[in-house]
Each structure stands twice: as C-alpha cells, then as structure tokens.
Amino acid sequence: MADRVFTVLDLIDLDLKEHNSLNLRCIGGRKGLVRVIDIPDLNRPMGAIMGFFEDFAYQRIQLFGRGEVSYLRRLENANETKTIEEMFAYPMPCCIFTHNLYPHKDFFEVAEKTQCPILQTDLGSADFTARIMRILSRVFSPRQIVHGVLVEVYGLGILLQGDSGVGKSETALELIHRGHRLVADDVVELNCIYGNTLMGAGANKIIGHHMEIRGPGIINITHLFGVRAIRDRKEIQLVVELEDWNSSKNYDRLGMENPTVELLGVTIPRLTVPVKPGRNIPIIIETAAMNERLKSMGYHAAKEFNKNILRWIESGSTRSVFFGDDDII
C-alpha cells in the first residue's frame, strides 16, 4: 500500500516520459477525478458489461479494449443500458479506454451521473497494461527516506552512508569527477519494487542533483559536469558505510566476511570503509564496485585466495619456507 492517498488525478498528472508515458486524458466524469486508487491492478470488465457481477473486481481500474468496446456497441444498437447502470453502481476508481476508443453516449451519461472518470489513451491494451502495472508497482511500493549519497559506479548503484562530516559528498564529488554519476545527495528516497528490488532516487526533484560541499557550498552537478554525470533513479546494489578510522577496532582485511544490511525487506551487501588521512576513498569504492560485480558473476577473490593458500599448504611446499633444504631429511 502506498504511504499516501493516490487519486485518479494523480495518475494523470504523473511526470512520465518516453517508454513510461501513459498518454492519459480525461474525456468524461471529471468530477470523479478525486476518486482514490487503492489497488495497483487492472480489471477487464467484459463479464460485468455482459451482466455477470459475481466476483466483479470493481475496486481495480477498469480497462476497456477493442473487445469490450465492441460489446458496448452491441448493447447500444440493442438500446440496452441496464447492465451499464448496474456496473456503475459499483464505486469503480475509473474506466480507461485504449486505442483512442470512445464509449457510446449512454455510457458517458451514466458515467457523468455517477461521477466516475472516463480516461482515454492512444496506446494499445497490451502496451498500456505493461506500462501502468510497472508504474503502479512503483507508486504503491514501500518507501523509506535515508540520509546518504547515492552514486552509480561502473553501473553499480552504491549508497554512501556515515556520520555527518565523514566525507560522503566529497567522496561522491571525486567519483563524479572520475566519470561516474550522481543519483541523489543528502536525502535519498528508497522504494522496494516487486518485493526484491531496491530503487533509490532523490527525495526532492527541485533540489535534485545539487550537492552541498563544505567550502564551495551548494553546487549544481548538471551544470558543472553535464547530463552525463547524473541519473534520476538507480537500483541500490551495495551499501558503503564510511566511518572515522578506529585503531582499536578489528577491520576485515581479507574480505571473507559477507556483511549485509536489510532495507525495506531487501538484503543488500554492506561494506565498511574506515576513513583517515592518506586513504584514497574514491579508488577504494571503485575497486569495491568492480569486486562486487565479480561476485555477482560467481568469482569471489577472497575465497579463491583462501583456497589457493590451503592447496599450497596441503601440497607440502610450505616446508621449505620454515626449514632450509639442509633441515629437510
């Protein structure tokens, strides 16, 4: 369930581009645009317009394609409107007609009377269904706001986290200078899609792709580095925790451990990077990104190193390291 009320008007007003655009426009029942969409799913109401209302999924968006419109024309020619009136007695969120199709006059009149919005799109039914399901899954997905910087490094979405002043923005700025991309700085909105994919974006589009750097102040990454240095959304595949170096803490030096963090029910690999003067954190993060990609391809450098060490020990070659040739009998 979405964390806010989502209405039919919100669906029309979504800022969607290119392959996500729904091309929706309201052609009737405008007073009903404030109706709330509660369920991120569609229903093809052929059974309802034929008079069969058992298990009618009226809570969903009703989608009318060529088949439904053909049957509506048959009802119009037969001057039968009873089933249409019965259908609109249910509080449907809205009716959407694909292929630029129009309902008949009686359908419009009943829709206006019951204040049910009628929308139209030039997309085909299959294409529109794929697009709106993808969009609704995003709108109704669980959300969470976190403090950090989200960057894309070698195609990998990395969320930089840590205490204020540890150097998250400065690290991200260096990564951008090295050719990587910024998704969001300071405030990142997370949402879980399909239950297993964690997406991140800027929580505020107005201040998106701006960074606060102590010294210069607020900078616009798009203006400084161009559009190649930014992107709007990215799947989070690694969380990097930056922390001040603690000499009394034992850090994992081999990489045999595989720590994770759970965000919105999705388990993400986590890497702790201690920060101190002399450590090139951007290069470390670049290396971590490439290493994480190798892990996703089935190669784990630390485990391979461990296997080679064990194989070397078992081979007996280590004896010459601890004993000279004269000591070996």
Concerning whether 249 is annotated as a catalytic residue, the answer is no
Of 133, 113, 114, 125, the residue nearest 60 (C-alpha): 133
Catalytic residue among 253, 325, 326, 327: 253
State the Cα–Cα distance between residues 166 and 242, nearest whole angstrom: 7
The residue from 60, 168, 180, 234 that is catalytic is: 168
Active-site residue (options: 138, 185, 186, 209):
186
Q: Provide the 8-state DSSP code for 163.
A: S
DSSP 182: E
Annotated active-site residue 31? The verdict is no
Alpha-carbon distances, residue 168 vs 41, 64, 157, 165, 171 (angstroms)? 39, 50, 15, 8, 5
Residue 147 is among the residues annotated as catalytic for this protein: yes
Distance CA 215, CA 42 (A): 52
Is 253 annotated in the active site? Answer: yes
Cβ proximity of 56 and 91 under 8 Å: no
**145 near 189, Cβ under 8 Å?**
yes
Tokens of 205: 């589009």
Residue 250 neighbours by CB distance under 10 Å: 6
Q: Which two tokens stand for residue 115?
A: 């204040």
Q: Residue 245: which of 276, 219, 216 has the closest Cα?
A: 276
Which three-class secondary structure string do you get for 215-258? CCEEEEHHHHHCHHHECCEEECCEEEEEEECCCCCCCCCCCCCC
Q: Catalytic pick from 147, 178, 276, 307?
A: 147
Residues classed as catalytic: 147, 168, 186, 253
